[in-house]
Amino acid sequence: MLTAQIQIGTWPQSVAEFERLIEATQDELVQHAFCRLGNRQDAEDTVQDVYVEAFRDRQKRAHITEVRAYLFRMVGNRCTDVRRRWRFTTGPLDDHHATSDTTFSQVAGREQAERFARLLAELPPAEAEVIRLRAWSDLSFAEVAAAVGSSVPTVKSRFRYGLDKLRRLLMPEGGPNL
Amino acid sequence: MNCKQARERILESLGNSQSETKELREHLAGCPACRSEWQHDREVWEKLRPAETIVASHQLMERTMTAITIEAAKESSERSASKWRSRPRWVMLAVAAVLLVVLIPLLPLGNSNRAGVALLAQSLQAMSKLRSVHISGQMRTVPGDNFELIGTDYQFVPLEMWRDYGPPTRWRVEKPGRVVVMDGQQSLLYLSKNHSAMKGEPTTGFVQWLRPLMSPETVLAGELAAAKRGEAEASLTEANGQLTLRITRQAQGDFTNDWVKNKAIDSSDHTRVYRFDSATKLLTGLSVVVHTGGQDISVLELNSFTYDQPLPDTLFALALPADVNWMLEPSEMPAAPSFTGPREAAEFFFDSLAREDWQKLLQVLPGSSVPDGIKNSYGGLNVVHLGDAFQSGLYPGWFVPYQIRLRNGETKDHKLAIRNDNPQRRWVVDGGF
């Protein structure tokens, strides 16, 4: 209900409204960032940075009504920045990151994200992003369109093309290989 | 439904079972090609879906709200700087903001308290916009005596404070028999019992401990700063839409001689409880409980905070009686002998009263004349005993124990407060009689 209110409302302006926004969206944004970055610490740091930026620039963004989708876009952009920085450092799976998630479920989650990332790496980035937002973040096509700044028909086309390519990767003739 | 429509609906149905309509199911039942497409898509989709979802840690909300609070605090000080153009006010707010920035990460805020962090920022935001405040309540004190004096066995006395944020900033503090007004240029103290008045700078400490209360926007930061210095324990809770800040402090000062223990809030072990309204985020109440002898005794209860009401100019002006006795600064007093210490100065004071030598008395009693009340009560007294001077608590002067017999036969045991912490190092009688 809270998410729905935020979707139809405008960009929050008060600290109290931001608190409600964070309460409503933190899990799915962390999930999205985790999907992109593969470890919890970086995912949470990224999401925190996005919320603070969203608060700092709240007046500038007061006209935005698709708040949730826009937050996904901000997280996506910031994840891209983080990954870009990794190219100049040791990367996401160095010792520091690998040891920051220690429980079995966290390790399983990280492996799952890595496997998903390897699959999506076979797709054009625009198709990969649509698949990611649909499959891991449960955004509707309309929300995905708002998040990536495209039309719904374009997003659906990318989803279809991406899904078909993944089908060929996952289930080549003779049976699935993953 | 044709095949093209069915293929689009199949896409929408992935992860959204509501899109799997009866119409689609009927089409799939009669179309092997679409049914095969649907099955393959579903298989791929299931492989893409995460087996486990990641949930944000409890720390994320707290860390994020702390960061946002810091942002809000910075904004608050910047806004005040541009809005008020009143240096003292925005400097004060900037200091408060900076203190919040520094202190919030140090607060013992658990997950359950993260709402409190947000409310701190909101309080700062709300109070940075104040135009005026009127505070009223009651204090266990003595009418007419200084504003700092408390006593756990005293009766409650009404207490009121007003502040107009200006510019210029003006304020008034009043209890029966004693009032201080600061009109933006100077402060003026008036004691109605003996028609005595004294002028001072805007910052002269006529209202002592109460003064910070007239700046509710800085109270939080000030209290948290004390917590950081280790002078207090702070806890912040939110319940029933109310933010409550509890500050527990130990008595300040040296109590080798505990004469002033529990005679002022700062010289008592006590808890201050600040309450903030959840809707307006403004300070709405303050109570102070002194902990002594295993008892908790309320000594200050301020329960009425009215904000932004117009305050008449007459509040910040005092009409003094024609026969007012102006209390003087030490530098304005007539020359006095050089005393070896507080006890000798006290001897000089009591000797003047015994001899009813009022000119001599004014060499140690800071006034333009001796009030009739003092003449009538203490003139012609006999000194029974004068003890050794001692210090206590944070008081910068000395206390000289005495026993005197008044002309009416009454005997009085008390401690004369006398001090020389002025630039001239002159001994002046400060109270205790």
- Dump the DSSP string for B148-200: TB--TTSPEEEEEEEEE--SSPEEEEEETTEEEEE-SS-EEEEETTTTEEEEE
| Range of the structural domain that residue B351 is part of | 328-431
- Ramachandran area for residue B138 (φ above 0: left; ψ -120 to 50: alpha; else beta): beta
Give the per-residue pLDDT at A9: 67
- Interface probe with B: pick from A19, A34, A169, most Cβ of B within 10 Å: A19
Tell me what the mean pLDDT of segment A53-70 comes to: 89
- Interface probe with A: pick from B7, B38, B39, B44, most Cβ of A within 10 Å: B44
What ipTM was predicted for this assembly?
Answer: 0.81
Instruction: Kindly list the residues from chain B whose CB atom is less than 8 angstroms away from the CB atom of residue A19.
Output: 65, 114-115, 118
Q: Do B56 and A109 touch (CB under 8 A)?
A: no
Find out whether A92 and A86 touch, Cβ atoms under 8 Å: yes
Find out whether B419 and B425 touch, Cβ atoms under 8 Å: no
User: What pLDDT, in 10s, does the model give residues A137-178?
Assistant: 888 888 899 888 889 999 999 999 998 888 888 776 544 444
CA distance B21 to chain A (A): 17
Please give the torsion angle defined by the CA atoms of residues A61, A66, A69 and A73, in that order, rounded to the nearest 10 degrees. Answer: -30
Q: Do A112 and B52 touch (CB under 8 A)?
A: yes
Q: How many CB atoms lie within 10 A of CB B426?
A: 21
Mean pLDDT of each 10-residue bin along chain B, 433 residues long: 82 76 83 86 84 80 77 62 43 49 50 49 68 90 88 92 84 91 89 85 73 66 64 75 82 85 88 83 88 94 91 91 85 89 94 94 90 89 93 87 93 92 88 84
Question: Is B280 inside any structural domain?
Answer: no
Query: Considering the entire predicted model, what is its pTM?
Result: 0.55
Instruction: Kindly list the residues from chain A whose CB atom is less than 8 angstroms away from the CB atom of residue B125.
Output: 15
CA distance B413 to chain A (A): 58
Question: Is B25 inside any structural domain?
Answer: yes
Strand order in the sheet with B382-386: B382-386, B398-405, B411-419, B428-431
Nearest Cα residue to A163 out of A136, A140, A135, A141: A135
Nearest Cα residue to B137 out of B165, B116, B121, B156: B156
Q: Do B11 and A160 touch (CB under 8 A)?
A: yes
The partner residue sitting opposite B40, judged by closest CB among A18, A167, A178, is: A167
Question: Is B422 inside any structural domain?
Answer: yes
Question: Is B275 inside any structural domain?
Answer: no
Tell me what the mean pLDDT of segment A35-50 comes to: 88
Residues 6+ apart with CB under 8 A from A61: A11, A54, A70
Tally the domains of chain B. 2
Amino acid at A45: D
C-alpha to C-alpha distance for B301 and A173, rounded to whole angstroms = 82
User: What pLDDT, in 10s, does the model give residues A111-128?
Assistant: 777 778 888 888 888 899
Q: Which residue on chain A is closest to B7 by alpha carbon? A: A160
Structure token pair of residue A61: 């963004």
Give the per-residue pLDDT at B301: 93
CA distance B36 to chain A (A): 13
- Interface probe with A: pick from B12, B18, B54, B109, most Cβ of A within 10 Å: B54
Nearest Cα residue to B300 out of B134, B140, B133: B140
Q: Which residue on chain B is closest to A117 by alpha carbon? A: B48
pLDDT at A13 exceeding the cut of 50? yes
Give the per-residue pLDDT at B406: 93
Give the per-residue pLDDT at B121: 62
Question: Is B409 inside any structural domain?
Answer: yes
Question: Is B33 inside any structural domain?
Answer: yes
CA distance A25 to chain B (A): 10
Tell me what the mean pLDDT of segment A98-110 comes to: 50
Q: Give the three-state DSSP class for B236.
A: strand
Three-state secondary structure of chain A: CHHHHHHHCCCCCCHHHHHHHHHHHHHHHHHHHHHHHCCHHHHHHHHHHHHHHHHHCCCCCCCCCCHHHHHHHHHHHHHHHHHHHHCCCCCCCCHHHHHHCCCHHHHHHHHHHHHHHHHHCCCCHHHHHHHHHHHCCCCCHHHHHHHHCCCHHHHHHHHHHHHHHHHHHHCCCCCCCC
Q: Which residues sit opposite B298 in a β-bridge?
A: B289
Domain edges within chain A? 2-170
